[in-house]
Amino acid sequence: MADIASGLLAAKPEVASLTIAGFSLKSILATFFLATFLFERYISVRQIRMTRIKKRPAILNGIVDDDEKFLKTQDYSYDKLVFGFVTSTLEMFKSMVFFHFDLLKATWDLSAHLLEAYGPASLAGNQLAISLILQNILFLSETLLELPQSLYYNFVIEERYGFNKQTLRLFATDQVKNLFISMIIQTAIILPIIYLIGWGGERFYLWVYFFLLAFQLVFLNIYPTLIQPLFNKYEPLPEGPLRDTIYKLAKKISFPLTAIYTVDGSKRSGHANAYFYGFFNNKRIVIYDTLIKSLELPEVEAVMAHELGHWYHSHNLKNMAIQQVSTFSMMYAFSFFVFNRSLYSSFGFHVPADQELPYLVGLTLFLQCWSALNLAMKLLMNMVSRSFEFQADAFACGLGYGKVLRSGLLKMQLENMSQMLPDSLYSLYNYTHPPMLERISAIDKLLQKKD
């Protein structure tokens, strides 16, 4: 470990060797991939076994008493897990082939050739232009490879259990919209980052971090107002008991509510949701029509009390602060790699000393390493997120919504066919929300204290 650490520190900016502690960078990356893959498949198998339980356990008494509903939920969870197992295995195989045969280098060369052959002569060899072409080739390839999987998931698995509400035409329209919007967003992110790396020198990570922060703040404002309405119809919540109650609740806790919208989520899915967005004194609440249809009025109010509990305890701001620390740490770590020519040569990029390095390639490789090493951060974020959910539940209970929140959460659990018997390790690694049994138990304890 000491040898590895010293190798990492030596990587800034160009002094690291082709190997770290005797292992090639490509081998280390492949090892990280394989270790993560095997761990995730192991916990998936553990969870698959839980979905094969056909007799409703006593622990669910009073939670779900319908054996048929229990079995259907188990089957739905099983189908999704097996689907995820297969797709992740294919993804692992694709990644191994891509890196083993240096296809990233081949794609970079193809991008350079396309620019030279069909682009303006003034841009021949321009790193920004080549990076843009490379990014779009990779994105389009990924989109095409994932298209059959998405079709199967929506029109076979979700259709089988009554959740898919979209037509093939709507699905195709969404795919085209997503394609163009994603390409625009990626261009708006990638090009400035590549430019800032070359312009900023060894401390480029500071400039990239501030750019990403600014971009995130802008995106959080434009996404719900400009992008999301391209896919769903947002309408003001009509006057009535629900609207009046939510405004009264917001006023009671000084939540700066300016508007309440309903969204036609039912035209795509039977799953329910609700959220709020906005900065400072301009908060807006969005409620899916599926939520209104599946719950009684007091239960919808309880769910909204839970959501407002997140605001009351500043969970969004806390999450954003944690995310900023993570982003800064990631970019700082990247600064130890980006100028290291050995990183590139390990993957077939033998760049002469007098030429600029392909920074997008370095970023792509680094992000692969970072995702494999980020297990501890993922577990930490899941633990933090779970604690926030318990806190928001307690907030709703404190406002007198305990019993109806309990019944509403159970209805949402059953309507969404969420996993009823999560494996502890699988849950810890994958769930940002506590398992329903844990939430119900915590609510029951609060209700007992109140009584």
Q: For position 266, what pLDDT does the model report? A: 83
| E strand segments, 299-413 | none
Neighbours of 280 (CB within 10 A): 6
Domain-located, residue 302: no
Residue 257 inside a domain? The answer is no
Contact 208, 197 (CB under 8 A): yes
The confidence score (pLDDT) of residue 324 equals 92
The residue range of the domain holding 171 is 2-233+312-450
Residue with tokens 């045969």: 101
> What's the rounded Cα separation, in Å, for the pair 81 and 89?
12
Residue 259 lies in a domain: no
DSSP state of 15: -
Domain-embedded: residue 293: no
Binding-site residue ranges for Zn(2+): 306, 310, 389
Burial level of 61, CB count in 10 A (0-12/13-18/19+)?
A: exposed
Domain assignment of residue 267, yes or no: no
Burial of 438: CB neighbours in 10 Å, binned 0-12, 13-18, 19+:
middle
The H-or-E segment that residue 286 falls in is: strand 283-288
Tell me if 351 is assigned to some domain: yes
Query: Per the annotation, where are the binding residues?
Result: 306, 310, 389
In a domain, 299, yes or no: no
Burial of 180 (0-12, 13-18, 19+ CB in 10 A): exposed
Q: Is residue 158 part of a domain?
A: yes
| pLDDT score, position 340 | 83
The CA distance from 340 to 349, in Å, is: 11
Number of domains in the chain: 1
Tens-digit pLDDT profile for the chain (451 aa)? 334 333 333 334 343 444 554 566 777 777 888 888 899 999 999 999 999 998 888 888 877 778 888 899 999 999 999 999 999 999 888 888 887 788 889 999 999 999 998 888 777 778 899 999 999 999 999 999 999 999 999 999 999 999 999 999 999 999 999 999 999 999 999 999 999 998 988 899 999 999 999 999 899 888 888 888 888 888 998 998 989 999 999 998 899 999 889 988 888 887 778 888 887 778 888 889 888 888 899 999 999 999 999 999 999 999 999 999 989 999 999 998 888 887 788 788 888 877 788 999 889 888 877 876 777 788 889 999 999 999 999 999 999 999 999 999 998 888 888 888 999 999 999 999 999 889 999 999 999 887 6
Number of H helices, E strands in the chain: 18, 6
Spatial separation of the C-alpha atoms in residues 385 and 428, rounded to whole Å = 11
Question: How many whole angstroms separate alpha carbon 2 and alpha carbon 346?
Answer: 22
Amino acid at residue number 134 = L
- Please choose, from the candidates 364, 313, 311, 312, the residue with its C-alpha nearest in 3D space to the C-alpha of residue 337: 364
pTM of the predicted model as reported, rounded to 2 decimal places: 0.86
| Catalytic (active-site) positions | 307, 393
